[in-house]
A = this chain, B = another copy of it.
């Protein structure tokens, strides 16, 4: 449940559509992560994504998509199909669509040569052809790859073609396309406030804040963004008057925070690992993890945060029981009598991590992630987690009912949140 702000006051109706081109999207070998990223960046700017379309590497399909999307929106962002191989037909197809001629772009050619020299790879004909562009487009330079971007204008509509490689597309959007769109259109001021709740369902949350939501001024809109047991609430505001916008956002965000105080994790848009990291950093504390069923995923979530080395020391992924014993000092007796998936085991894992990695806090997990390994007493999805300091320990038991991947993700997020709760209870914030 999420609402696109479609009735914002003073908003020019600048709508966009994304066309992703590539047979790989249609045979399911690639998950399209580009579109979500583009949508978020457009939203920050005040451009609303109206549709997303994926088509194969076929001229008639691409033409059809260009026709249909340009009838519906002002901005058409196109990704994919710019590679060096024969299937990558986006460039000649766009050239034909806009009635141009392919010419060599010197700057793009220099870029191709520079990249191949740096990689020390042989430069073949089809790589050089990547520097060709239609003569009726604005060339957008690609600092991270060989295929240049292309900006076309036709009948008041803007068409931008970019590579499908995520970091190349992202660089191009950030460095060039977004600033160029901002110069082209006269946008209102746009701003956002986001908070994160944990431990309350989406429906119940909606009931809780319904009255507040209904009285929101037209310039503000609320989005519900649930994931991993958390629900993010984002207020998006749009107004031609910057001061009025800030005032409105400030007031309503404060009200919302009060309404959800009981479940509030953070009043900004960060991951649960970042929330925890910030608390640790501010209090000059450190954490380690002792992971069995999560297999290093909690450590991965933590180390995905830039700068996490300031507060994260390390992890022992004790997948085998012998490592729980040999490195984390879990008692053989505990494993034999209570089993690896037990409250006592995760407690001992926390204590082992605190001692062996010399940290202020530690998190431990042990469970059965599936699809195999369950028993009548401990079915697949049974998980124990613990979080502790040298003076306090908290544990939780869960029964997840998802697939292996999702069970690992849910366990990891709940374990991080448990440590957050423990720190809050210890008076750390």
Contacts and interface: CB of A to CB of B under 8 A. Distances in A.
Interface of A: 1-4, 6, 22-33, 35-43, 48-58, 61, 65, 68, 83-88, 121, 124, 126-127, 144, 166-167, 201-203, 206-207, 223-225, 232, 234, 289, 291, 294-300, 302-304, 306-309, 312-320, 322-323, 326-327, 356-358, 370-372, 401-406, 408
Contact of A36 (B23, B30, B40, B83): B30
Contacts of A224: 85
Nearest to A328: B314
Contact of A126 (B38, B48, B51, B203): B203
Given A309-B319, A315-B296, A323-B314, A29 B88 contact: no
Given A312-B319, A319-B309, A356-B327, A402 B167 contact: yes
Contacts of A319: 299, 303, 308-309, 312-315
A308 B289 CA distance: 20
A42 B25 CA distance: 13
Contacts of A4: 23, 26-27, 56
A201 B53 contact: no
Given A300-B296, A302-B295, A316 B316 contact: yes
Contacts of A85: 1, 202-203, 206, 224
12 contacts: A2-B24, A4-B23, A25-B39, A27-B39, A29-B225, A30-B225, A31-B33, A32-B36, A124-B203, A294-B303, A295-B299, A306-B370
Nearest to A404: B306
A33 B61 CA distance: 23
Nearest to A68: B68
B326 A356 contact: yes
Contacts of A65: 51
B43 A39 contact: no
A79 to B, nearest CB: 13
Give 9 closest A-B pairs by Cβ, nearest first. Answer: A295-B303, A28-B39, A296-B299, A296-B296, A28-B40, A315-B317, A2-B24, A52-B54, A1-B85
Given A1-B83, A40-B27, A52-B54, A304 B127 contact: no
Nearest to A313: B320
Nearest to A206: B85
B43 A23 contact: no
A371 to B, nearest CB: 6
A370 B302 CA distance: 14
A314 B312 contact: no
Which of the listed residues A52, A167, A223 has the most CB atoms from chain B within 10 Å of its own CB? A52
Given A30-B225, A52-B52, A127-B203, 18 more contacts: A2-B23, A25-B39, A26-B51, A28-B39, A28-B43, A50-B55, A50-B61, A52-B54, A83-B202, A85-B203, A295-B299, A295-B303, A295-B308, A296-B303, A296-B315, A309-B320, A323-B357, A327-B357
Contact of A300 (B43, B57, B124, B300): B300
A1 B147 CA distance: 14
Contacts of A371: 306
A24 B309 CA distance: 33
Contacts of A406: 166-167
B304 A408 contact: yes
Contacts of A87: 1-3
A52 B25 contact: yes
A38 B121 CA distance: 37
Contacts of A403: 167
Contacts of A55: 50-51
Nearest to A370: B306
A401 B144 contact: yes
A52 B26 contact: yes
